[in-house]
Structure 1
């Protein structure tokens, strides 16, 4: 006979050592002991007798216990073990209390730090701690939705830091990818969110792109008598035409002067992929001279104030201003535009080789991106021709 609310409320423990069992039907019963009243469900799974705890009265009422019984019976009908399902629910709940976005994010930061340079690591940590963790760090990562992450990233975007917002979104996506591997989530909710962010109007950096102007510019560099670190940076920049941040943070450990090669780690590159810069004879000569001065330290071009940090990001531009070139005429970034234009339009070099050397993504006929070593001998020859051509421009008035 099924139990009633009144009976469940009034029934007392009779003193039996094992407690008293009062059946409600379909395997469910109320176990009354000296310590309380407990709902239980007896069932068989895979030929074995098992018991499932359904809760404690009065926290779980008779009607609530019956609902749990029906849910368990539905699992049995589907071929699942209710006890195993309950343990999984407990595991998920316990993990959710630990796997907040911030906890997973910090775990990812620690596990992936070796793939980033110290400067990049510090930048990533700072942006997450100042912008993302305060907004969504306390939320279990499995509970986060795309809109939650987007709202957090848009706080950065609204300050006008559009590029930074996109980069932070990429790092959030990497945290979710890590969470998928560790089984904290099953889906990366950041996928496609970049489409919802503002697109920054492309900035065209000022550059000198005619041979005559380039020659005058190179002669100005030769005549520059500033700090030796800055002088070296000005002499190398046109020859390697990397991004200013890549040049100023160059480390001696990345450069093999005997092989005439500079391998920039992916952590320092805009596309996150290692980049190889073949070094022309002229570059090797400058770096060998500089090695006598800064070779004992970490950075090829250290700060003029301390050797423990790389050169300031505005040092080269300040030197250009001092040489009489306004920001509307030439910037450190403009060396890239100068090389891109003149290699193509004046020297007639292959465009794909130029794009490779600019660290732009280049794809083959099947749409696959070439790796970092693609056409390396041809690029090495091109870089030497470029350096030789600049020597000619330097002497041509």
Structure 2
């Protein structure tokens, strides 16, 4: 019968050129490496195959502890369980427990920053920190189900913030989808949560779309007396129908008056993709006139308080209000709705209109290359649109 190991025998064992074993019986032994390391191993058979189970390193795992661990492993074998598989499962479970919703959400958030504007990124993080993390953040993401997310979302709804609840639901859905794609969880528990939320009321930006009233609006803009930045921004906006922030933040290096083209860089666009705006003859003339006011400044529409900051939405809105257009009648965003409605009514290709509005392209690969898509057609459409507006301004019956 082989002699059992002793602490003295293990402690005084010297390394050799090749690894060698100090056996304790029952498959338990110490593997002495050439560098002097002493590792506990248990040899056993499972499913007809010989396998090894690591039990730790001596002296951190003592002889007594190693024997206890070996006995525990053999008890699993007696119940038909592979100790190695059991250990792997325990590690996976421990890892899953460590991957909390907040940890995964912040990892997902960090990977999205490159394609978001600072303002959007700040909004996403704020919604997570205010609404999701307090109740879900510390919980393992693998344990969360749809009811857990809905409990949080319904609480937000009860405060009357219907749209906020929907935004938080969308963010949670993106986080769990990321977790599924990266193998953290097997299923996307927060997918489709908005279907279980209160339907949001339809949101319409007030816009003038009747041709005769459009003509009145254009004449009112022409007659408005105010600061040059505000006046010219309002005169240009109906022709180009881009977002207010994209117009107000325009810089002269983006605009090529000779080519009659305005290239708005990706970082200034809502969807972080470059956008080309063909400039009609009338717009080129307006920009050229505005140049004499902004001079050598970088911004096309500098603000009153600081030449390094553009005019604000409030400036444009106040101008509309002074012209007599109430909040429920016309908004700055309404110029986009006005163009979209009238161009569609006139039968222009919907793809041309959507591309000119810089609406999001669902196909990500296509979106990366489509900033110049339909450019010849859009150039013609934009000139015809400008001529149409001039006709309405002159009182033509179109």
Report the TM-score, using the length of structure 1 for normalisation.
Answer: 0.71
CA distance in 1, matches of 2:44, 2:97: 30
1:261 matched residue in structure 2: 262
How far apart are residue 385 of structure 1 and its match? 0.7
1:68 aligned to 2:67? no
Report Cα offsets for 1:7-44 as digits up to 9, x if no partner.
xxxxxx9988679x999xxx799xxxxxxxxxx97523
Indicate the SS of the match to 1:44.
strand
Match of 1:228?
228
Partners of 1:275 and 1:155 lie apart in 2 by 40
Residue 50 of structure 1: aligned partner: 52
Query: 1:381 offset after TM fit, Å?
Result: 0.8
- What does residue 197 of structure 2 align with? 197
Alpha-carbon displacement from aligned partner over 1:123-167 (angstroms, at most 9, x marks no partner): 222222222222322222222222223333444444444334333
Give the aligned partner of residue 38 of structure 2: none
Contact 2:115 2:272 in 1 (8 A): no
Report deviation, 1:383.
0.9
**1 CA distance for matches of 2:157 and 2:277?**
33
Aligned length, in residue pairs: 361
Query: Displacement of 1:392 after TM fit?
Result: 2.6
Aligned counterpart, 2:374: 375
The answer to whether the 8 A contact 1:41-1:69 is kept is no
In structure 2, the CA distance between the partners of 1:214 and 1:51, relative to structure 1 (3 Å rule), is closer
Give ranges in structure 1 of 5+ residues lacking alignment: 1-12, 30-39, 76-81
Conserved 8 A contact 1:252-1:295: no
| C-alpha RMSD of matched pairs (Å) | 4.4
Change over 3 Å in CA distance of 1:361–1:178 after alignment to 2: closer
Q: What secondary structure does 1:126 align onto?
A: helix
Shift of 1:115: 0.7
Q: Secondary structure at the match of 2:52?
A: strand
Counterpart for residue 10 of structure 1: none
**Structure 1 CA distance for aligned equivalents of residues 136 and 6 of structure 2:** 53
Distance 1:100 1:295 in 2: 53
Contact 2:297-2:307 within 8 A present in 1 as well:
no
Partner of 1:112: 112
Report the Cα distance in structure 2 between the residues aligned to 1:47 and 1:210, rounded to whole angstroms. 82
The reply to whether residue 123 of structure 1 matches residue 123 of structure 2 is yes
Q: Which runs of 5+ in 2 are unaligned?
A: 12-22, 29-40
TM-score w.r.t. the length of structure 2 is: 0.71
Report what 1:240 is aligned to: 240
Distance, in Å, in 2 between the alignment partners of 1:176 and 1:214 is 47
Preserved contact between residue 248 and residue 301 of structure 1 (Cα < 8 Å): yes
Partner of 1:165: 165
Distance 1:147 1:252 in 2: 52
Q: CA deviation at 1:122?
A: 2.1
Name the CA distance, whole Å, in 2 between partners of 1:388 and 1:287.
17
User: SS of the counterpart of 2:186?
Assistant: coil
State the match for 2:395 in structure 1. 396
Task: Give the stretch that moved more between structures: 311-320 or 210-219.
Answer: 311-320
1:18-33 → structure 2 map (5 Å cutoff): none
- Secondary structure at the residue paired with 1:200? coil
Superposition deviation, residue 322 in structure 1: 0.9
Distance 1:158 1:252 in 2: 48
TM-aligned CA distance change 1:63 to 1:186, over 3 Å: same
Structure 1: distance between partners of 2:52 and 2:137 = 41
Structure 1 residues 308, 141: closer, same or farther in 2, change over 3 A? Answer: farther
> 2:84 aligned with 1:83, yes or no?
yes
